[in-house]
Structure 1
Amino acid sequence: MTILKDVVNYILNLGGPVFVPLIMLILGLVAGLKFKKSIVAALTLGVAFSGMTLVVNYMMDAISPAAKAMSKLFHLSLNAIDAGWTGVAAITWSYKSAFLFFPLLLAINFVMLTFNWTKTLNVDMWNVWNKIFTYVVVLYFTHNAFFGFLVAGFQIIFELKAGDMWHRHIEDLTGMPGVTVPHFITLFAVILQPLNKLLDFIPIMNKPFDADALQKRIGVWGDNTVMGALIGVLLGFGAGYSISGSLNLAIKAATAMTLFPMISKLFMTALQPIADAMSGFMQKHFKGREVYIGLDWPILAGRNELWVTVIILVPIMLVFAMILPHNTVLPFAGIINLSFVNAALLLTGANLLRMITLGIITTPIFLYGATYFAPVITNLAKTTGTVKVHAGQQLSWSTFEGPDFRLFFAQAFNGKWWAIALALLWTLGFIWLYRDQNRIKLPSQRYGILKPATAAAAPAASDTNDTADDVDLNDLSGLDFSDAKASNESKKSASPKSNVADDVDLNDLGGLDFSHTSHEKRGDKRE
């Protein structure tokens, strides 16, 4: 046990930007990628992770003080301190049994890959802490360690299956082949799914509202840099900053929004050769099998819809913290709601309007989840001795990950009948989500195509192709073309030197009966 613990701690001390590239280097070499290309790809991946971490921290360091200033303006005084995900993760890693969850994850992943129950190979070892924390939550309510390991195992299975279903959406949104995000935060899509389906009935929600579409609609105001600056300056004024302070925040937000897509391209550069090598390896040795490499959520951070949404939700979360009865958590370190936005990005296909709407609706879930689980986090902090909590105070996390899953399954194993029912309902919801995401159109195809006003009358090439695809010679079965033929022949005799194109006349089809033409095939192609 001591050796295993030492090995795990050594791996953790390497950090994600070192450990994940090492794993990818090994995978590239095993898949037959040349050593030089494997080294370059692995190093580029490490640079991408480090760069994304730098910019994410830069963004959060810029926004968090503004959020704190805004909370003072709202006169918020609540007794649960928001440690954010970094604080809770640090406390969780200090738990005495943390090292046991590495072999648990590897064993479940190996078994599921062996029996073809998943296509996801999860190399995101850092986020094992999520499983550890789930164990701690279940143990707190049930006082049964076996139940804790069991629910953590369920979580691993759900995450791997989520990785399978998100793969094609992630490739469409980011351009990165062969990768996925088997992260616990994406499972919040189970709660978002029915709400997102209800939004289908609102016409404006079915329009394209990703960053590119927005730029086409509103011009320069939809540009990533301009949009970041605008949101930054508004947030600064909302926090009571001076003009210079607001402008500084605007530049910082614009900087982050500009750099995110640039760093995202590094992920694509690094992952493309490894993905190609893995694909060739699988086709050679395991025909018909695919394997997706499971990575952490920052590979999605190049989508600016993600950052626009979380910044807009900052003041909304503070308002909810002020007005929600029985809420005890003051949002601060965790106010950037990454626990919501990644699931929303993937589920809606980066539809900004849907993401913001879903964020407003579900923000109370996170605040009440943070309030409910504050005693668990406080107890964990006291048990590990990593953080000193003063008398009369609690420690929490305002955007608590997976409050739905952890509440339902922890209390279900605690024997609560309502929780058993909700855990079963949640599982059925995941099955519905899984099936829906495997057959729904890709994000780039899901919403209507925005056309420039000057070219509105001209059909797009894709529209022409779609029309051609709908043509079936069987549709003309039974039609009488004798009159058309006679008419055409008379024209040919009248002007023998005419072009073939000149021979075509729509009047030749006059009087024909198209009532038997089949439209079913066309209908089948629409989702």
Structure 2
Amino acid sequence: MQYLASIVNFLLGLGAAVFVPIIIIIAGLIVRMKVKDAISSGITLGVAFTGMTMLINFMTGAITPAAEAMLETTGISLPITDGGWTTMSTISWSWPYAFLMFPLVIVINIIMLVLKKTDTFNADLWNVWGKIFTAVAAYYITNSVIIAFIIAGIQVIFELKSADFHQHRVEKMSGIPGVTCTHKMCFLAAPMYPVDWVLRKIPALNKSFNASDLKDKVGIFAENHILGFILGVLFGLLARYDVAGILTLGVQCATALTLFPVISKYFMQALEPISNAVSEFMQTKFSDRDLYVGLDWPFLGGANEIWLAVIWTVPVTLIMAFFLPGNQILPFAGIINIAIAVPAYFVTKGNVIRMLILCVIFEPAFLWVGTAFAPFMTELANTTKAVELAAGQMISCSSIDGPIQTYAFSHVMQFMDGNFIPLGILVVWVVCFVFYAKSLIKEKKEDEALAK
């Protein structure tokens, strides 16, 4: 067991930019790609991941000091430190049973493929930590490793089904055939769906209004570099920077928004060959089925709408953190909240206005869940010494992926102690998931009928 754990830890230590391409290269060879093509796709994917990570880190490094400056001017004290997703991942992997999650995820995927309960081959094994994160909370509530893994296994099943239902829309919106998204951040799309359904009943909001439409209406002001500069300047003003600082932040945001679509092209370049190879191979094995490759979210990074929503959510998060009852987390490392923008992008089909509204409505969930998870993550961090914390310091994340589902799944067993709130939230989430899935299935059938 210890030897297996060491191997897993070594592979994870390589980072997503190395680990995921290795998985893709191996998968390519299995589906009989030429060695040079498989290696080329894998390395190109590594380049894409690295480029996207560099840009996100660059953007975070530019915006976080401005957000911190805004916080300092308020004088409000919030006791929980925001460690972001990287710290949560580190702490999650320090759980003694974490390495067992790998075989669980793989076995469930294989069984569901064989039984024809999913059409998704999940290549995003890097994000196994998201299942561990849920399991850690479930373990600290129930004190049962078995229950923790059962709950994590149920999450895996929902991730695969979510990927199946989203695939058609993902392909249509990204332009990359044969891929889908298996990241659990997509779970937030389910409760967003009924809210968006109501918003679509408002005539002014039920029109196409994506980044291209925005460009048609306001011209040069919707160009990536101009829009990024404007947003950066506005954020610099809110942070009370001097003129030089304001202009610098403007250029930094302009740079990020200009380069995100450039990097996203490398995802398409890397993924299209492997997607085609998987499709051809599976046709020989499963002639009656189309199988898809499940991936992390960054291949969607070329969507300007996502980054507009991300930047918009920064001041929204800060303002809510000050005044939201029940919040105790100080937004910092998780301030760039992609986990709210991506599901909003899917649900609205890129309608920028509805995306911004949904981000405002659902941001409290991230702060509340981040606050709720602080005791578990702090205790695990202190027990394993995965992260050094000062005496009395608490740590969590202000942008936990799929916060509503994660909270409901991990806390559901509290009904045995008389707390039925997590169970009620879980029931509501499942109902939303079912109705959202039906809408995605209906959309796919309608598009296929039109294509005939």
TM surpasses 0.5: yes
What's the offset of the Cα at 1:401? 2.6
Kindly state the Cα deviation for residue 425 of structure 1 after the two structures are TM-superposed.
Answer: 2.9
Partner of 1:491: none
Q: Secondary structure at the match of 1:209?
A: coil
Q: 1:400 to 1:32 in 2, by over 3 A?
A: closer
How far 1:36 sits from its partner (Å)? 2.5
1:98-497 matched pairs, under 5 angstroms: 98-414=98-414, 415=416, 416-440=419-443
Amino acid at match of 1:35: V
In the alignment, what sits opposite 2:64? Answer: 64
Conserved in 2, the CA contact under 8 Å of 1:79 and 1:392? no
CA distance in 2, matches of 1:381, 1:114: 39
Of all paired residues, the percent bearing the same amino acid is 43
Give the C-alpha shift of residue 428 in structure 1: 2.2
For the structure 1 residues 389 and 20, does the alpha-carbon distance in structure 2 shift closer, same or farther, using more than 3 Å as the test?
A: closer
User: What amino acid is the match of 2:293?
Assistant: I
Residue 23 of structure 2 corresponds to 23
Aligned amino acid, residue 427 of structure 2 = L
Q: Number of aligned pairs?
A: 447
Q: Aligned AA for 2:254?
A: A
Give how far 1:182 is off.
0.6
TM-score (norm 2): 0.95
- Alpha-carbon separation, structure 1, partners of 2:388 and 2:50: 30
| Structure 2 residue matching 1:141: 3-state secondary structure | helix
Instruction: For 1:282 and 1:268, locate their aligned partners in 2 and report how far apart those are by CA, in whole Å.
Output: 20
| Structure 1 counterpart of 2:96 | 96
The range that moved more, 384-393 or 279-288, is 384-393
| Displacement of 1:412 | 2.4
Instruction: Provide, for residues 450-478 of structure 1, a one-character-per-residue CA deviation record: whole Å limited to 9, x for no partner.
Output: xxxxxxxxxxxxxxxx9xx9xxxxxxxxx
* Mapped partners of 2:438, 2:2: distance in 1: 43
Distance 1:391 1:285, change over 3 A: closer
CA distance in 2, matches of 1:383, 1:405: 26
Instruction: Name the structure with the higher helix share.
Output: 2
1:475-496 CA distance string (max 9 Å, x none):
xxxxxxxxxxxxxxxxxxxxxx
State the alpha-carbon separation in 2 of the partners of residues 375 and 195 from structure 1.
31
Cα deviation, residue 431, structure 1: 1.4
Counterpart Cα distance in 1 of 2:291 and 2:232: 40
- Of 6-15 and 254-263, more deviation after overlay is shown by 6-15
Q: What SS is found at the alignment partner of 1:440?
A: helix
Q: Specify the code of the residue in structure 2 equivalent to 1:435.
A: K
TM-score normalised to the size of structure 1?
Answer: 0.81
Runs of 5+ consecutive residues of structure 2 not aligned to the other structure:
none
Q: For residues 128 and 33 of structure 1, what CA distance do their matches in structure 2 show? A: 26
Q: How far apart are the structure 2 equivalents of 1:267 and 1:179?
A: 11
Counterpart-to-counterpart distance in 2, 1:19 and 1:403: 26
Cα distance per residue 1:406-447 (max 9 Å; x no partner): 3323332232334333323322221111111222379xx9xx
Distance between the aligned counterparts of 1:12 and 1:361, measured in 2?
35
Letter in 2 for 1:111: I
TM-superposed CA distance for 1:140, in Å, is 1.3
- Pairwise CA distance, 1:330: 1.1
Q: Work out whether residues 122 and 182 of structure 1, in 8 Å CA contact, stay in contact via their aligned partners in 2.
A: yes
State how far apart, in whole Å, the 2-side matches of 1:35 and 1:241 are: 53
Moved more, 233-242 or 34-43: 34-43
Residues 80 and 395, structure 2, Cα contact 8 Å, conserved in 1: yes
Of residues 303-312 and 433-442 in structure 1, the stretch that sits farther from structure 2 once superposed is 433-442
Query: Helix, strand or coil for the counterpart of 1:201?
Result: coil
Query: Considering only aligned residues, what root-mean-square deviation do their CA atoms show, in Å?
Result: 2.0
Q: CA deviation at 1:369?
A: 1.4
The one-letter amino acid of 1:129's match is W
2:62 aligned partner, one-letter code: A
Tell me what 1:37 maps to. 37
**Matched-pair contact (CA < 8 Å) for 2:49–2:298:** yes
Aligned 8 A contact 1:261 1:304 in 2: yes
The one-letter code sitting in structure 2 at the alignment partner of 1:89 is S
How many angstroms apart in 1 are the aligned matches of 2:149 and 2:34?
Answer: 40
Q: Distance in 2 between matches of 1:305 and 1:89?
A: 27
Residue in 2 that maps onto 1:517: none
- Displacement of 1:278 in angstroms is 1.7
Which letter maps to 2:405? F
CA distance in 1, matches of 2:113, 2:442: 22
| SS at 2:121 equivalent | strand
Q: Measure, in 2, the Cα distance between the counterparts of 1:394 and 1:37.
A: 47
Residue 398 of structure 1: SS of its match in structure 2?
coil
Aligned to 1:80: 80
Cα displacement string for residues 161-187 of structure 1 (whole angstroms, at most 9, x for unaligned residues): 111111121211221111111111110
**TM-superposition CA deviations, 1:243-268 (whole Å, max 9, x none):** 11111111111111111111111111
- The offset of 1:3, in angstroms, is 2.5
1: CA distance between counterparts of 2:400 and 2:22? Answer: 31
Please give the per-residue CA displacement for 1:40-61, whole angstroms capped at 9, x wherever unaligned.
2222111111111111111111
Q: 1:46: which partner in 2?
A: 46
**Regions of 4+ moved over 6 Å:** none
